[in-house]
Amino acid sequence: MAPIEVRPFRRADRDQLTQLVNAHAAAVVPGVSASVSSVLASLERRPGEFIVDPWVSERVTLVAEQAGRVAAAAHLLRYFPDGRAGQAARNTGEINWLLFWPDAPEGNQYWPDATPAAEALMTACITQLEEWRVTQHADGELPVPGVYGVPEQWPHVSALYERAGFRHEGHTEIVYLARLADLPRPAELPVAGLAVRRRLGMNGTRLSAVLSEDEVIGYIEVEVYDDGERLSRRGGLADVGNLRVAEPFRRRGVGSWLLSQAAEWLSLAGVDRLLDYAWLDGTDPGGVDYADQRAFLGAVGFRELTRTRRGWARHA
């Protein structure tokens, strides 16, 4: 068996690490990738995660080198044990992501199976979590849009987690993708007198459906992924931050109309694809049930990309 060395990440590993990250990302969201600089920056801080990222007290990145190749890599986070972190995160540690090459050609002595390297890396990760004396969690959040949890396209990762004693104790989310060209373009206004108003929202540009200056009956927020070389291949990708319609106006076509307004606006920016997300079952911490949203997304042209499991825990 090829010798395996588990060690801290070095800058010289950056290209192989980025290749490993992008291969896993592209299996989930078509054509998406992160630049080398984005991957390196994400190991130090995630400014876009302005709520959770300041809770992190320590970051550790490990790689498993096998026959001169970065065969596996992992990024670990430790959260503050006090009021500097949110209640649920206090004194927890997390494998933020762990990736490895799942296949090797049979009988090729120069291309060894990376599974032993991943196993050795997992042992090192658990050792680090135990040294921190923290509650142990795991995830798969990469520095690209739409890739988090443990997607169904990564059975090698979920199997490794399970062998190490991690169990999925959280929920499952569906990641959707639509081409703007496939979204509906209503020929008529769903409500007489409806107009669109554009403002800055909480999660990107907000396009509101208004009947008068003071009566907003719904809105959609969209964000274009273009900051800080986040994407190496800029395929014109955006996501839906919020889509809300007031109860009296639901099931009257207002949501589809808002989506068409967002599509027209995004097309001016060269965007051609739009991501959205929904829980598979149950309700989120805010009590939101996503059954209507799942039905809506399927009806207006979104396709399911993946189902990803969030909330992995290991009870040492």
Q: Which amino acid is residue 190, in one-letter code?
A: P
pLDDT of residue 306: 98
Q: What is the pLDDT of residues 263-301, one digit of tens each?
A: 999 999 999 999 999 999 888 888 889 999 999 999 999
Alpha-carbon distance of 74 to 85, in angstroms, equals 22
pLDDT of residue 191: 94
**More confidently predicted of 126 and 282:** 126
Domain ranges of the chain: 4-168, 177-309
As a whole number, mean pLDDT of residues 240-249 equals 94
Alpha-carbon distance of 18 to 36, in angstroms, equals 6
As a whole number, mean pLDDT of residues 151-166 equals 98
Percentage of residues of the chain with pLDDT beyond 70: 97
Lowest mean pLDDT among 47-51, 137-141, 182-186: 47-51
Give DSSP secondary structure letters for the chain.
---EEEEE--GGGHHHHHHHHHHHHHTTSTT----HHHHHHHHH--TT-TTTGGGEEEEEEEEEEETTEEEEEEEEEEE-SSTTS-GGGTTEEEEEEEEE-----TT-TTS--SHHHHHHHHHHHHHHHHHHT-EEEE----SSTT--SEETT-HHHHHHHHHTTEEE-S-EEEEEEEEGGGS---SS-SSTT-EEEEEEETTEEEEEEESSSS-EEEEEEEEE--GGG--SS---EEEEEEEEE-GGGTTTTHHHHHHHHHHHHHHHTT--EEEEEEESSSB-TT--B-HHHHHHHHHTT-EEEEEEE--EEE--
- The confidence band for 233, taking pLDDT boundaries of 50, 70 and 90, is low
The CATH class of the 177-309 domain is alpha beta
Backbone angles phi, psi at 167, to 5 degrees: -130, 145
Confidence (pTM): 0.93
pLDDT of residue 192: 93
Residue 189: both structure tokens together: 């206004």
As a whole number, mean pLDDT of residues 47-58 equals 93
Q: Which amino acid is residue 217, in one-letter code?
A: I
Q: What is the mean pLDDT of the chain?
A: 94
Alpha-carbon distance of 7 to 84, in angstroms, equals 30
Percentage of residues of the chain with pLDDT beyond 90: 86
Q: What is the pLDDT of residues 69-109, one digit of tens each?
A: 999 999 999 999 999 999 999 999 999 999 999 998 988 88
pLDDT of residue 47: 82
pLDDT of residue 231: 47
pLDDT of residue 270: 92
Task: Output b/e per residue, 241-279; b: 16+ Cβ within 10 A.
Answer: bebbbeeebeeebbbbbbbbbbbebbeeeebbbbbbbbb
pLDDT of residue 228: 47
Q: Which CATH number fits domain 4-168: 1.10.3210.10, 3.20.20.70, 3.40.190.10, 3.40.630.30?
A: 3.40.630.30
Q: Which amino acid is residue 213, in one-letter code?
A: E
pLDDT of residue 282: 85
pLDDT of residue 227: 54
Alpha-carbon distance of 177 to 304, in angstroms, equals 6
